[in-house]
A and B are shown apart, each in its own frame.
Chain A
Amino acid sequence: DAGITQSPRHKVTETGTPVTLRCHQTENHRYMYWYRQDPGHGLRLIHYSYGVKDTDKGEVSDGYSVSRSKTEDFLLTLESATSSQTSVYFCAISPSTGVGETQYFGPGTRLLVL
């Protein structure tokens, strides 16, 4: 299994509070991604990173920000959590974005916003 950890694994928070989720990898992969997974939807890309300090928005980026100060760490921040952000969040990594390249996922963080 790829060396990817996420913390916390579970979190309950209240509407309006900031929340930061952490993804840590030991594979030295260049590319990192944050997805959310909700019933009836496929995984949806929130933000991604293509290098230290290089990030960009995905499909569902509103209300989220990210930072990557080191190759191994990619942080996702919910600036002011809302109930619609209750979801399972997965971090993923890949060595490249070439044809046929796959992504490897962390164990996920279950977030409940009350």
Chain B
Amino acid sequence: RKEVEQDPGPFNVPEGATVAFNCTYSNSASQSFFWYRQDCRKEPKLLMSVYSSGNEDGRFTAQLNRASQYISLLIRDSKLSDSATYLCVVNGGGFKTIFGAGTRLFVKA
């Protein structure tokens, strides 16, 4: 079993739609959680950190469920520019940062 698992997708959604991604992790001692965005042939960039209380940044909402060991990302009112791969990232402390393989999102006009 992978330490961090994501549905690879692709998710194909129309502009304006709401889409949600989940990510599960296996290490219950994990301390930090993030969502990164990666555009085609580019480097990963931090989208948002995920806090225990949940957090929101504009159209993006991230949630953490420690009991079930998953994190989620909700994108509301999808834009064409949201098309990318979204990486779930979990840190178990120190140098042990595990990246999920990513979920691909295509937003269509």
Contacts and interface: CB of A to CB of B under 8 A. Distances in A.
A42 B87 contact: yes
B86 to A, nearest CB: 12
Interface stretch (A13-21, A70-78, A95-103): A95-103
B43 A40 contact: no
Interface in B67-109: 87, 91, 93-95, 97-102
B101 A100 contact: no
State the main secondary structure of chain A at its contact with B: loop
A102 B46 contact: yes
Interface residues of B, number: 22
A34 interface: no
Contacts of A101: 32, 91
Contacts of B32: 99-101
A54 to B, nearest CB: 12
A2 to B, nearest CB: 10
A42 B4 contact: yes
Interface in A74-114: 90, 97, 99-108
Contacts of A105: 43-45
Interface residues of A, number: 23
A41 B2 CA distance: 10
Contacts of A106: 43
Contacts of B43: 90, 105-108
B97 A103 contact: yes
Interface of B: 4, 8, 31-32, 34, 42-46, 49, 87, 91, 93-95, 97-102
